[in-house]
Structure 1
């Protein structure tokens, strides 16, 4: 075993021990929390999470100290939810669409054109919130806030004019919902974590992406693609989650600080996401990429795919989950 590996192992053990101690009893004069996130520091979601940490520490007058590990540096993004549930860390930010195999609700916002504007995404979040609260509570966790991704689109090496341009192309997607969407559009779709995208391009595992301008900038998509076709079909969400035992060990006043800061984090995310979508699209252009809206033929095909996926979703979801969708759709029709 190398010295570097030993040091890393010891650090991980120390962090895990610290987490266990914090969970073992009631909050002390200063409670230490460890949190994990999967995105780099220049990602607006990480910046928003950092602001949340500042708000909590200020609001608790330093009684709660939060150490945030970003960019998959402590726990890989797809493993954060399990680590929180087991109490290895006290909290973190997760991508909801990763867990579609656990409950269809996790991937509802991945149905194309179900909620394709920020206003619709907010209303869908409000409709889903009670369901998610119960789901996470049963699993020993507290879901406290949400972040929304900017509009998404296709990163390709050649221009996109019709869905025929998708046939057989190997694309990276990030959830079971986007995998189904890509398959119905003719792609050969593979689910891969954010951190594995560059290597997947270099080995030929993928030749296209479906993601946001933010992620495209994070992984420097211009190194492997030339076109970003923004179809505006999906505004998916991340969630801020705590271990329930750790949260319950805090004094009620500090719990309120966390939840108030989480509400502000959610509201701020919608504002930051809008700005990031425009800003990062400009970065793509600056680095030589052609950025354009989805052609009518592609948008039309995606709306048909969305209708198919909505029917499929309802066929697999529980009556309680279907009731959430029905409530959301009823609200949309009355607006």
Structure 2
């Protein structure tokens, strides 16, 4: 974490800890939540919807204030603030949790999910709950899974069809060892960096390409710097909504239930917004000059064996992968 980020964490801690001491139950509380995406992004709107449900069910006693647009720092910054108890919760891509909560790597495995429907069924099942529970020992209460669509590669110079076409490319990935291993298995050079640095990296040629979903490709304006998006759809890494265990343990059980139920009920709301946003974003990037092309997915999938060998290497992860693959 940078000195600037540490300062933000310290300031957030000073200003929020008193507001988040939720004892006794009758005391009003404002739960503060961090979000790197803008106000109109589906995840931001979903957390605000969750807040509306909580406010209604507590007669205004508990509310959520969402700090959007990365105003409290990067996803890694917000995760640290939640762990410290300086923030109540945050919504992050689950890749940001990989090195903190190892089970979050499972739904990020390449080509694990056959379709969006398969993803939803798996994450709505006991498997999804088991994955969320896996974060508690790290200091986080997993509340819900949100959609993040499928991630594809976009390049400054060309459309790609097979792994041979990305060989030697410098591709930005999320700051996750799994993401690095996946791109390296394709033959490219993985370059981890925060999302906020990617536009400049593409513009200056520091990186040749990046990978993300269509709404992020649109909202970050990356299509202006990398006009060629190849629909590899290599992962469907979901978003995760996590609550600070330090703050959670101060809550009465009745309030915990209200918050957890509201989080679950925000999921279908988010999915509807996401599906709509994907179509809007596809039209927007194409209008902005982006070219979207199909790829030979089988060739990319065949390159992923080393990734599975490395990350699906315990009885628990093997069982979870098998159970996900068995979901019909």
Q: TM-score with structure 1 length normalisation?
A: 0.86
* Matched ranges for 1:18-29 at <5 A: 18-24=15-21, 26=23, 27-29=25-27
Does the CA contact (< 8 Å) of 1:153 and 1:228 recur in 2? yes
| Aligned equivalent of 1:300 | 298
Bigger helix share: 1
| Aligned equivalent of 2:64 | 66
Question: Are residues 320 and 112 of structure 1, via their aligned partners in 2, closer, same or farther at CA, if it must alter by over 3 Å?
Answer: closer
Q: Per-residue deviation at 1:23? A: 4.3
Does the CA contact (< 8 Å) of 1:85 and 1:141 recur in 2? yes
Q: Per-residue deviation at 1:286? A: 0.8
Question: Matched residues in 2 for 1:91 and 1:104: separation?
Answer: 19
Is residue 2:103 matched to residue 1:105?
yes
Q: Tell me, which stretches of 5 or more residues in structure 2 are unaligned?
A: none
Q: Deviations over 1:65-109 (max 9, x none)?
A: 222111210132112222111111111112211232345422222
Question: Matched residues in 2 for 1:205 and 1:42: separation?
Answer: 30
Q: Per-residue deviation at 1:25? A: 5.5
> 1:65 aligns to what SS in structure 2?
strand
Question: Are residues 321 and 22 of structure 1, via their aligned partners in 2, closer, same or farther at CA, if it must alter by over 3 Å?
Answer: farther
Q: Per-residue deviation at 1:15? A: 4.1
Does the CA contact (< 8 Å) of 1:214 and 1:280 recur in 2? yes
| Aligned equivalent of 1:241 | 242
Question: Are residues 92 and 260 of structure 1, via their aligned partners in 2, closer, same or farther at CA, if it must alter by over 3 Å?
Answer: same
| Aligned equivalent of 2:310 | 312
Question: Matched residues in 1 for 2:76 and 2:204: separation?
Answer: 22
Number of positions where the alignment pairs a residue of Structure 1 with one of Structure 2: 319
Question: Matched residues in 2 for 1:127 and 1:235: separation?
Answer: 19
| Aligned equivalent of 1:17 | 14
| Aligned equivalent of 1:176 | 177
* Matched ranges for 1:1-335 at <5 A: 15-24=12-21, 26=23, 27-125=25-123, 126-156=125-155, 157-174=157-174, 175-294=176-295, 296=296, 299-315=297-313, 318-329=314-325, 331-332=326-327, 335=328
Q: Tell me, which stretches of 5 or more residues in structure 1 are unaligned?
A: none
- Aligned-residue CA RMSD (Å): 2.3
Question: Matched residues in 2 for 1:138 and 1:222: separation?
Answer: 39
Does the CA contact (< 8 Å) of 1:116 and 1:233 recur in 2? no
Does the CA contact (< 8 Å) of 1:100 and 1:106 recur in 2? yes
Q: TM-score with structure 2 length normalisation?
A: 0.88
